[in-house]
Structure 1
Amino acid sequence: MKDVQSLTDERGIAIQKVGVSEVHLPFLIKRKSGSFQSVLANIKLTVDLPKEYKGTHMSRFIEVLSDWSQKPVSYREMEAILNDLAGRLDARRASIDIAFKFFIEKTAPVSGMKSLLDYDCLFAGNLEMGNHLDFVLGLTVPFTSLCPCSKEISAYGAHNQRGIMRVKVRFQPGRFVWIEDLAALMEAQASAPVFSLLKREDEKHLTELAYENPKFVEDVLRDLVLALRALDGVAWFEVECENYESIHNHSAYAAHIETIGK
């Protein structure tokens, strides 16, 4: 049959990224413990397309993803996926975004009750043939913050809020951090962490912990920046913090981007 996608295009426009998005497949993500977690991944997979080609072969993207969907995935596997795809399509560059929910078991601070908390994660990889994979880990972590101003001016109590930290971090070649360790580092910068399951003694503990550790959204962000600077092997990071205000009909927001050594 005639291969229309391989016909010559006369418009002279190369396309930086072409492929498939919103592909939902089960994937296996490596845990720090050495085991793996089965996740439902939302995937975008692309390659570059030279100006002389009319289109790419979309079916080959799904073929590659299907081959890898039941193999544990981390940095090295992502590099292999993109090399596989680029080889099949004779591409110079390939990229993949794998977004998924990752679950971490947490222990309540007083009762010791265990529960799972879900975190939004992203593995983003870009590969140019002949180079190492450019890998970025993205993680979203919920937290509690308590307003220092409210605590200072109130006769009793202080308003608090649930917030979200969003981090994207790029490491030097050969370096990485486990999702579990990055989540713990991020939670440590909050007034208090968030749990799925708490008993009354846990609620008391966390309420008092937040009260003794008040932080503006700016404080959370700055402390997180310092923690990421101290993380071994980090080359670049982007941070966002957003507090869903409890006494305002808007959110408090702060962001920072930094390249280490510059």
Structure 2
Amino acid sequence: MNKVRSISNKQLPNKAQRHKLFGSVEPGPRTKPSEKSKMADLQNSKEDFLFDLDEVGIANVKHPITVASSLEPKSQTTIGTFEFSSSIDKSSKGTNMSRFTEQLQAFHQKGFVIDIKTLKIFTKDLAERLDQKDAEIKVSFPWFYERRGPQSDLPGMNHADITICVNYDQSAGYTVEASMSALITTLCPCSKEISEYSAHNQRGEVSINVSLIEDFDEESADWKAFLLEAAESNASARLHPVLKRPDEKMVTEQAYENPRFVEDLARLVAADLYEMPFVAKFQVKCRNEESIHMHDAIASITYDKSQQ
């Protein structure tokens, strides 16, 4: 047990003395310049540094962002986790890391709404700021959407995990990849078939990664809502933050009426993605956390529409 210490009138050294006691020392002589124009810039050194680098940048940068949505809430603030990078050729020693966060702050001050149009502008501006031929931004964030009980109509908040990656290349233009991970319910068809009384179900995760067509216009289609619908509508049932008894009856009966193997789920989601005109290629990964087994069940599909 920790002993309770009584209040005393112990006289402590002053703060400077305490710092000295624990290792602080007086500043030494200053011989190097403090003006930026006179400081050495090692990162901008030019020489043959042996290899080109595919990417150089910073990662795990957390920053507040605004997200627009076609679902309620139509505008929301959340936390984005960013990664910024560009390539550099072997004649450059490195990059100026501060320019990445300077760019982020500049967009934040103008109101940084995370949409593909804005991220395209961001990457092109970033490449110019870095004096490079390309730049890439990747941002991940939780996206919240309202979900109502199917019978009670009581609202609550669900969320899916979103990642957007935009790459700008001076010669090739833009490439845009977007991904979503959403949770759903599945009910085992085999269990339903062989059991006298019931069927076991599980919580599943649907992870979707898509490459969007070059001229995709986010104003004409909220890709987040489309991917969410592909994941949820093909499951046995959706998840709900608020369920009263009449809601629970409807959800469990719906799951029983729509049994899904993990293989079924992957194929059904893929079919919806195949029919989306703004999706150029996609990957679907499904994982069910089995309720009566020690293992998870997985299935995945990768498809490139240009190769059909």
Shift of 1:206: 0.6
Residue type of the alignment partner of 1:166: S
2:148·2:156 contact (CA, 8 Å) conserved in 1?
yes
2:68·2:75 contact (CA, 8 Å) conserved in 1?
yes
The correspondence of residues 63-82 of structure 1 with structure 2, limited to 5 A, is: 63-69=102-108, 70-82=111-123
The aligned counterpart of 1:158 is 199
Shift of 1:185: 2.5
Residue type of the alignment partner of 1:24: K
For 1:169 and 1:19, the matched residues in 2 are separated by 24
2:141 equivalent among 97, 100, 104: 100
Output the aligned Cα RMSD.
1.4
Q: Which runs of 5+ in 1 are unaligned?
A: none
The aligned counterpart of 1:229 is 274
For 1:48 and 1:150, the matched residues in 2 are separated by 52
The answer as to 2:23 corresponding to 1:23 is: no
2:186·2:202 contact (CA, 8 Å) conserved in 1?
yes
The aligned counterpart of 1:181 is 226
Shift of 1:184: 1.8
The aligned counterpart of 2:82 is 43
For 1:101 and 1:228, the matched residues in 2 are separated by 22
1:36·1:72 contact (CA, 8 Å) conserved in 2?
no
Shift of 1:180: 2.0
For 1:35 and 1:216, the matched residues in 2 are separated by 34
The aligned counterpart of 1:132 is 173
Runs of 4+, deviation exceeding 3 Å: none
Shift of 1:192: 0.4
State the SS of the aligned residue for 1:133. Answer: strand
For 2:60 and 2:277, the matched residues in 1 are separated by 33
Shift of 1:217: 0.1
1:240·1:255 contact (CA, 8 Å) conserved in 2?
yes
CA deviation map 1:21-61 (0-9, x unaligned): 00000111222269532110000000111111111000000
CA deviation map 1:166-219 (0-9, x unaligned): 001112122254112321222001000111111111111111110111010000
Pick the structure with more strand per residue: 1
TM-score by length of 2: 0.82
1:244·1:250 contact (CA, 8 Å) conserved in 2?
yes
Residue type of the alignment partner of 2:67: I
1:6 equivalent among 34, 44, 48: 44
TM-score by length of 1: 0.96
Please identify, of 172-181 and 155-164, the stretch whose mean Cα deviation from structure 2 is larger: 172-181
Q: Which has the larger radius of gyration?
A: 2
1:168 equivalent among 209, 216, 219: 209
The aligned counterpart of 2:247 is 202
Name the count of aligned residue pairs. Answer: 262
Shift of 1:9: 4.3
2:261 equivalent among 184, 191, 216: 216
Shift of 1:150: 0.4
For 1:155 and 1:4, the matched residues in 2 are separated by 74
For 1:195 and 1:155, the matched residues in 2 are separated by 28
Relative distance call for 1:60 and 1:74 in structure 2 (3 A) is: same
Please identify, of 27-36 and 213-222, the stretch whose mean Cα deviation from structure 2 is larger: 27-36
For 2:306 and 2:133, the matched residues in 1 are separated by 29
1:169·1:237 contact (CA, 8 Å) conserved in 2?
yes
1:125·1:134 contact (CA, 8 Å) conserved in 2?
yes
Task: Answer 1 or 2: higher relative contact order, Cα 8 Å, separation at least 6.
Answer: 1
1:116·1:196 contact (CA, 8 Å) conserved in 2?
yes
